[in-house]
Structure 1
Amino acid sequence: MVKMTGKSNTFLDRLVQGRMLARWARAARLAPALEGQELRQLRSDARALKREIDRVLFAAEGKLSMPLGGGDGIERPLGCDWAWRPEVWRGPVFPQGVAAAQSRAMMGREVTLFHDCKVSELTLRQIRNTGVQDLAPFGLRMDVFRFDGSFLSLVLDLPEAGVTGLRRNHLIRLGLEVELEKPLEIFCRLNVKHGPNTDQLVRELPVQTGQNFVEFDLAYTKMNEKRVEKAWVDIIFEGPQMNQIVLRDLTFARHPRAEI
Structure 2
Amino acid sequence: MKPKVVNVRRWNPVEILIVAVCCCLIASVTGCNKALCASVVSKCLLQELCQCSMKGDDCPCCQDCTMCLGSLWEQCCSCVGLCSEHKGNRKLAARRSSVEDLPFPLQSLFQSLCELQGDAAVEWNIHTLPVSKELSQMSHMDHILLSTHSAFPSPPSVNLSAICTVMYFKPCMTMRRCQESCEVTGSSRYRWFHNGCCQCVGPDCYGYGNKDPLCQQCHPKGLPSVVEALAEGSKPIKDIR
TM over 0.5: same fold?
A: no
TM-score of the superposition, structure 2-length normalised? 0.27
TM-score of the pair, normalised by structure 1? 0.25
Query: Which structure is higher in strand share?
Result: 1
Greater gyration radius: 1
